[in-house]
Amino acid sequence: MSNPNALRTANDYVQFAFSLMQSTPPQYLAASCIFRFLHENISESEKPKLAKFLVQCGIALHDASLMNYVSQINDITQQSELARFMLNTALHEQHRDGCVAEAEHQPAFRSTSCTWDDIILVCAGGDKLLQQLYCNLKSLEVFKYKNTYWGALQEIPIVVAHADELTETEMTKFKSTFSNLKLEFFNVADSALVLESRLTASLLRGFQIKLAALVAIPARRVLMMDADLLWIKDPRHIIAKCKSSEVHAHLFRDFWHFVERRHDKSSSTSFLYSLHEIDYNISEFESGVVFFDREHAYKSIAMLRYMVMNYEYYFSLTFGDKDLFYLALQHQKANVSISEIPRMLGCVYDEGRSGRDTNVFYSQSMIQSFDGSPSHIHTTLHPVGDEGFDIPTHICNDGKTIQFVQRNINNKMVGTVACDMIHALNIEIPSIYDHIYACALRDKNTYLKE
């Protein structure tokens, strides 16, 4: 950051204010004061340039007076469009009131409508996701049923949700391959949620289908997982521990923080939290795994139903579904447990790997923990089948050191996330991570041959 005592020109002050915005944690209020002062004392032709920075500060601070500078911006940018959207007070009040009303008028959970008590739920459709799901389920097959501190783990159905995406042939093949797992299928397109609304199967892709599946699935308790997971620990432990602890939901943290360590959607998501008077000075969440006791958190499910019915509005403010679960749960004041910040697996390459720089950390995937020990690997950056999927060589144990970086991939600079080498520790071989990745590569090749 520049020394404020050495500032001389208007450009010096602009650069200093910009450095305040990029600091950790970012200091948007201080930066906005500098930009506002400069804006009042420069020529009319220069004002639109500073207006962009004022709008950016306004979005971060949820300050309408700063976002109103958007009227001075001539070109259309992502930030200016977001500011105009956030200034639509009537729209926000409409959805806030509608979402709250949906929860307040929701009748208690009806057990007679349940097909299952406890399930593991995963959404998958299309060849890429099925390839990931195959490797995911292979990593589940290794676990044996045994007695635990929480009681005997029972066989729990694994339900694959889709929206008219899977054929009978594909479902039969998976059931045959994983005959030792209790594999079932659920077509969200045939659910009451879709049949009684404007939603269609073609709209249920990506984040939408995850919300829709959790809302529509006829089960008491759901452990929802993404297809791109590799399991370290039996996931049934999560269900058993949450049940014995009478936890209504369990969420996993992300690397980011709504105030201190932001990404492009952090400020607009925290704006949504503020509309519902929810404290957002917290770590963000990721939704690779979510446990939900639908029976007790039924009002939260009602809010999520409203959100998926109006996903265009909510996903304009959020980065998909990942932070909506906490919002709905907090509104109900549900009993929620939350895991610690994840760790990151990555690769450090030598001269033998073309298209990569040497002696820098290339992130692979996050390690999430439950109940004090590693639970699963979420291969969100480079899932199975991705060109960048590699067996990790290093680990970053401090998730707070992960930051946005540029990395050379096949002679192109690509934006991604990683840590500095000082925070990267070598993974000693043999390791559980090396073994899990090697098995995933083997399983991927098997899937492609079948």
The predicted-structure confidence for 209-226, as pLDDT tens digits, reads as follows 999 999 999 999 999 999
Write down the residue that tokens 């360590």 correspond to: 261
> Across the strands, what pairs with 405?
416
In what helix (H) or strand (E) does residue 313 lie, and over which residues does it extend?
Answer: helix 311-317
Q: Which two tokens stand for residue 26?
A: 């970012």
The predicted-structure confidence for 129-172, as pLDDT tens digits, reads as follows 999 999 999 999 888 655 655 455 568 999 999 999 999 999 99
Beta-strand ranges (E) seen in 137-198 are 158-162, 183-187
Write down the residue that tokens 């390690």 correspond to: 367
Is residue 430 within 8 A of residue 391, CB to CB? The reply is no
pLDDT of amino acid 147: 60
pLDDT band at 97 (very low <50, low <70, confident <90, very high): very high
Is residue 187 within 8 A of residue 199, CB to CB? The reply is no
Distances (CA, A) of 148 to 222, 239, 289, 355, 390: 20, 12, 21, 47, 34
In what helix (H) or strand (E) does residue 220 lie, and over which residues does it extend?
Answer: strand 219-225
Using DSSP, state whether 46 is helix, strand or coil: helix
pLDDT of amino acid 425: 97
d(CA 22, CA 359): 26
The sign of the dihedral angle between the CA atoms of 128, 132, 133, 138 is positive
Tell me the average pLDDT of the chain: 92
Lowest mean pLDDT among 10-19, 87-96, 285-294: 10-19
pLDDT of amino acid 145: 58
Torsion of Cα atoms, 263 then 267 then 268 then 272, to 10°: 130
Q: How many CB atoms lie within 10 A of CB 151?
A: 10
d(CA 405, CA 423): 14
Residues making up the chain, counted from first to last: 450
DSSP sequence for 235-246: THHHHHHHHHTT
> Across the strands, what pairs with 219?
116
Torsion of Cα atoms, 272 then 273 then 276 then 282, to 10°: 180
Is residue 40's pLDDT more than 60?
yes
pLDDT of amino acid 374: 97
pLDDT of amino acid 405: 94
As a whole-number percent, the residues of the chain with pLDDT over 70 amount to 96
pLDDT of amino acid 148: 58
Higher pLDDT, 43 or 348: 348
Mean pLDDT of 431-444: 96
pLDDT band at 4 (very low <50, low <70, confident <90, very high): low
Write down the residue that tokens 């004061």 correspond to: 33
pLDDT of amino acid 7: 65
- Measured N-to-C along each axis, helices 127-141 and 432-449 cross at an angle, to the nearest 10 degrees, of 130
The predicted-structure confidence for 271-284, as pLDDT tens digits, reads as follows 999 999 999 999 99
d(CA 280, CA 263): 14
The predicted-structure confidence for 382-395, as pLDDT tens digits, reads as follows 999 998 899 999 99
Q: Which two tokens stand for residue 87?
A: 């200034």
Distances (CA, A) of 306 to 96, 253, 303: 10, 24, 5
Higher pLDDT, 331 or 196: 331
d(CA 425, CA 322): 29
pLDDT of amino acid 214: 97
Mean pLDDT of 60-84: 93
